[in-house]
């Protein structure tokens, strides 16, 4: 049972990450509240994507990766959670739409089948429900057996959101989800995010400062691996405490 | 001056390119001309499906069905052995092995590819053949099975290295996408990596089998060379390739036997051509 708007989802304490000798994240402390959208902004190489990938332990695919500090999901160390279970709870949507080379239906069904087995009827219902949540059902309901590559970029991205939702996550990580999309597709994905917040906790990494302003409840500004500032979005954008934040959101650097 | 130089180099390259095509065409024409001569003595149907190959009896009986079946049986056996092992090996190298093991394995596979086939045949003759004989309690170890096992070793390097390439070139993002959904490593390999690399893996298999079909020396040394229709994999067989290699030296130039061997060459050519074209189709499907 998810309690709406109450409680801490992620608690990160003194996080440090190295890739070989490069210090990618420096002494970061963040709390992410349940059912909020946290936007993470910052220039390239600021560590924002690394931070995001820490939350579902995807960085561990790299060989020379080192981490210190604590990352807790609902007060449990994420390293003590079984990794498949962690990634089910903490879903991720990537920058480029990444449909699997399967049909539209199977793209969504893939994750469902992976985590629990159910009957054909139930599976179909679940796929429909999930596609509706991602605001894609109406556009694809007549062509579920077509290859997912035939969808437009925006549709593919929403399909990826549906696929992520299908496994029943609590948190959804978005890694620059609109960087390859046109403004209309972007708006649809943003709409989906705002509505999804009612049920899920969302962390959004974006290069688009205006997008952070539009959808984020809170905004975090990263620079060179440090968390410079974290506050309610309207405060960050109207009265930033740090002049580096001010400079970045005004487009003076980065 | 510069222009002239350009022109000369351009033409030289053109000539080199045309020459290679020209020679292939010549070889092909010669093969066809000599091979088709046999059909004056025996009709194509009887040639392909005739059950007995007695080229020096009088009149000669030129049915190559035993040879075709011999080649197919040995190839099939080699496929059954080399495909699962080869693909599994490629998956291990591409996905599972730590960096050092990976390097060692890849070097080992390349070394395997570098062993001349006659050496493999020789090793097979003194080790594998007695082993097959004693394990199955049969009068001779020179069987289709021995040939299949040996040829599997020869197909393996091709299958492993090309399949590994195919797996390696699957976009990393596919893998991350599957992991991000909570898939285990095995689920990711089976449901995402293998399907995404499937065309490359099929091409690898076809190229490996192409090598097996064309292989001559090793099979000649260890399959027993009996031109009879095989009833089981534990019997001696003779392949198309071994027939040509063994008999061409003795065939009288211009005799039916001589022409028949060329016709066997045509059959072999058609089979390997078909295999290579199939492999090519799969490879290009991947690029699209």
Helix boundaries (H) for B92-216 = 99-114, 117-123, 129-136, 144-168, 172-180, 185-188, 194-196, 198-214
Residue A15 and residue A67 in contact, taking contact as beta carbons nearer than 8 Å: yes
Written as six digits, the tokens of A82 are 């079984």
> Residues of B with CB below 8 A from A84's CB?
182-184
CB contact under 8 A, A88 and B181: yes
Mean pLDDT over residues B186-211, rounded? 89
> Residues of B with CB below 8 A from A110's CB?
181, 191
When pLDDT is cut at 50, 70 and 90, the band that residue A4 belongs to is: very low
Other Cβ atoms within 10 Å of A211 Cβ, number: 22
Helix, strand, or coil (residue B153):
helix
Residue B288 confidence (pLDDT) above 60 = no
CB contact under 8 A, A111 and B175: no
| Burial class of residue B217 (count of CB atoms within 10 Å of its CB; 0-12, 13-18, 19+) | middle
Mean pLDDT computed over every residue of chain B: 88
Written as six digits, the tokens of A253 are 């650097």
The distance of Cα B25 from the centroid of its chain, to the nearest Å, equals: 22
In B, what residues contact A, Cβ < 8 A? 99, 173-184, 187, 191-192, 195-196
* DSSP conformation letters of B55-106: TTSSS-EE--HHHHHHHHHHHHHHHHHHHHHHHHHHHIIIIIS-HHHHHHHH
> Residues of B with CB below 8 A from A96's CB?
173
Mean pLDDT over residues B229-253, rounded? 87
Residue B165 and residue B200 in contact, taking contact as beta carbons nearer than 8 Å: yes
Helix, strand, coil share (%) of chain A residues, nearest 5: 40, 25, 30
- Least trusted range by pLDDT, from A113-122, A226-235, B125-134: A113-122
Using the structure block, give the residue that is written with the tokens 């974006």. A206
CB contact under 8 A, B180 and A87: yes
Residue B205 pLDDT? 92
> Residues of A with CB below 8 A from B173's CB?
94, 96, 98
CA angle B236–B239–B242, rounded 5-degree value? 105
Distance, in Å, from the CA atom of B260 to the CA atom of B244, rounded to the nearest integer, reads 9
Residue A96 pLDDT? 81
Mean pLDDT over residues B121-128, rounded? 90
Distance, in Å, from the CA atom of A90 to the CA atom of A104, rounded to the nearest integer, reads 22
Residue A2 pLDDT? 41
Tens digits of residue pLDDT in B174-191 = 888 888 888 888 988 988
Residue B89 pLDDT? 94
Tens digits of residue pLDDT in A219-251 = 999 999 899 999 999 898 888 888 888 888 887
Domains in chain B: ranges and CATH: 2-287 (1.10.3720.10)
CB contact under 8 A, B182 and A63: no
Residue B187 pLDDT? 87
When pLDDT is cut at 50, 70 and 90, the band that residue B287 belongs to is: low
Give the closest of A86, A98, A101 to B195, CB-based. Answer: A101
When pLDDT is cut at 50, 70 and 90, the band that residue B164 belongs to is: very high
Written as six digits, the tokens of A96 are 């480029």
Tens digits of residue pLDDT in B49-106 = 888 888 877 788 888 899 999 999 999 999 999 999 999 999 999 988 888 999 999 9
Residue A103 confidence (pLDDT) above 70 = yes
Using the structure block, give the residue that is written with the tokens 């405060």. A235
Residue A191 confidence (pLDDT) above 90 = no
Work out the widest C-alpha separation in chain A, in whole angstroms: 57
pTM of the model: 0.75
Give the closest of A63, A101, A114 to B183, CB-based. Answer: A114
Distance, in Å, from the CA atom of B239 to the CA atom of A170, rounded to the nearest integer, reads 63
Give the closest of A63, A94, A111 to B173, CB-based. Answer: A94
| Cis peptide, bond prior to residue B67, ω within 30 of zero | no
DSSP conformation class of B39: G
List the single best residue of A50, A81, A96, A114 to mutate versus B (max B Cβ within 10 A). Answer: A114
Q: Which of B265, B205, B277, B266 is nearest to B241 (CA)?
A: B265
Tens digits of residue pLDDT in B247-267 = 888 888 888 888 989 999 999
Distance, in Å, from the CA atom of B267 to the CA atom of A140, rounded to the nearest integer, reads 51
- Nearest residue of A to residue B191, measured between CA atoms: A110
Other Cβ atoms within 10 Å of A193 Cβ, number: 23
Residue A5 confidence (pLDDT) above 80 = no
Residue A170 and residue A200 in contact, taking contact as beta carbons nearer than 8 Å: yes
Written as six digits, the tokens of A215 are 């959808």
Residue A253 pLDDT? 60
Min Cα–Cα distance to chain B from A140, Å: 22
List the single best residue of B99, B178, B179, B182 to mutate versus A (max A Cβ within 10 A). Answer: B182
CB contact under 8 A, B182 and A115: yes
Tens digits of residue pLDDT in A54-74 = 999 988 888 788 899 999 998
> Residues of B with CB below 8 A from A61's CB?
175-176, 179
Residue A60 and residue A3 in contact, taking contact as beta carbons nearer than 8 Å: no
CB contact under 8 A, A86 and B182: yes
CB contact under 8 A, B180 and A84: no
> Residues of B with CB below 8 A from A97's CB?
none
CB contact under 8 A, B187 and A114: yes
Residue B171 pLDDT? 87
* A243: enclosing H helix or E strand: helix A243-249
Distance, in Å, from the CA atom of B246 to the CA atom of B266, rounded to the nearest integer, reads 17
Residue B286 confidence (pLDDT) above 80 = no
φ/ψ of residue A67, rounded to 5: -140, 140
Residue A98 pLDDT? 78
When pLDDT is cut at 50, 70 and 90, the band that residue B285 belongs to is: low
């Amino acid at each position: 049972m998810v309690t709406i708007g109450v409680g801490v989802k992620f608690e990160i304490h003194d996080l440090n990450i190295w890739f070989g000798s490069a210090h990618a994240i420096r002494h970061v402390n963040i709390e992410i509240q349940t059912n909020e959208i946290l936007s993470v902004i910052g220039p390239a190489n600021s560590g924002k994507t690394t931070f995001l990938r820490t939350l579902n332990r995807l960085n561990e695919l790299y060989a020379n990766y080192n981490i210190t500090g604590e990352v807790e999901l609902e007060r449990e160390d994420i390293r003590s959670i079984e990794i498949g279970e962690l990634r089910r709870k903490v879903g991720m949507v990537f920058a480029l739409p990444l449909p699997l080379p399967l049909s539209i239906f199977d793209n969504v069904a893939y994750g469902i089948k992976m985590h629990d087995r159910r009957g054909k009827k139930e599976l179909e219902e679940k796929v429909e429900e999930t596609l509706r949540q991602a605001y894609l059902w109406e556009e694809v309901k007549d062509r579920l057996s077509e290859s997912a590559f035939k969808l437009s970029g925006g549709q593919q991205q929403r399909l990826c959101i549906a696929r992520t939702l299908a496994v029943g996550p609590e948190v959804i990580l978005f890694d620059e989800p609109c960087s390859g999309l046109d403004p209309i597709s972007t708006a649809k994905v943003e709409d989906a995010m705002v509505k999804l917040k009612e049920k899920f906790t969302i962390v959004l990494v974006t290069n688009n400062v205006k997008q952070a302003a539009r959808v984020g409840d809170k905004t975090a500004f990263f620079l060179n691996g440090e968390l410079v500032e974290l506050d309610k979005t309207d405060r960050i954008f109207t009265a930033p405490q740090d002049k580096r934040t001010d400079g970045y959101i005004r487009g003076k650097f980065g | 001056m510069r222009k002239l130089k350009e022109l000369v180099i351009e033409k030289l390259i053109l000539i080199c390119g045309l020459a290679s095509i020209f020679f292939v065409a010549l070889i092909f024409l010669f093969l066809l001309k000599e091979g088709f001569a046999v059909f004056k003595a025996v009709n194509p149907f009887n040639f392909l499906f005739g059950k007995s190959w007695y080229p020096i009896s009088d009149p000669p009986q030129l049915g190559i069905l035993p040879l075709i079946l011999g080649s197919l049986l040995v190839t099939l056996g080699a496929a059954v052995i080399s495909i699962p092992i080869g693909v599994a090996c490629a998956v291990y190298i591409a996905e599972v092995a730590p960096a050092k093991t990976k390097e060692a394995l890849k070097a080992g596979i390349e070394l395997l590819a570098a062993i001349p086939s006659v050496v493999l045949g020789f090793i097979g003759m003194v080790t594998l053949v007695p082993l097959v004989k004693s394990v199955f309690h049969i009068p001779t170890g020179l069987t289709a099975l021995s040939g299949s096992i040996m040829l599997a070793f020869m197909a393996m390097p091709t299958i492993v290295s090309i399949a590994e390439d195919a797996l390696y070139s699957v976009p990393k993002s596919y893998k991350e996408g599957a992991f991000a959904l909570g898939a285990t490593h095995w689920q990711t390999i089976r449901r995402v990596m293998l399907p995404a690399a499937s065309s490359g893996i099929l091409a690898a298999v076809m190229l490996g089998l192409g090598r097996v079909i064309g292989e001559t020396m090793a099979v000649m040394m260890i399959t027993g060379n009996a031109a009879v229709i095989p009833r089981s994999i534990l019997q001696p067989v003779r392949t198309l390739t071994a027939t040509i290699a063994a008999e061409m030296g003795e065939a009288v130039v211009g005799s039916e036997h001589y022409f028949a061997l060329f016709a066997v060459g045509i059959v072999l050519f058609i089979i390997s051509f078909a295999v290579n074209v199939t492999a090519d189709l799969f490879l290009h499907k991947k690029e699209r």
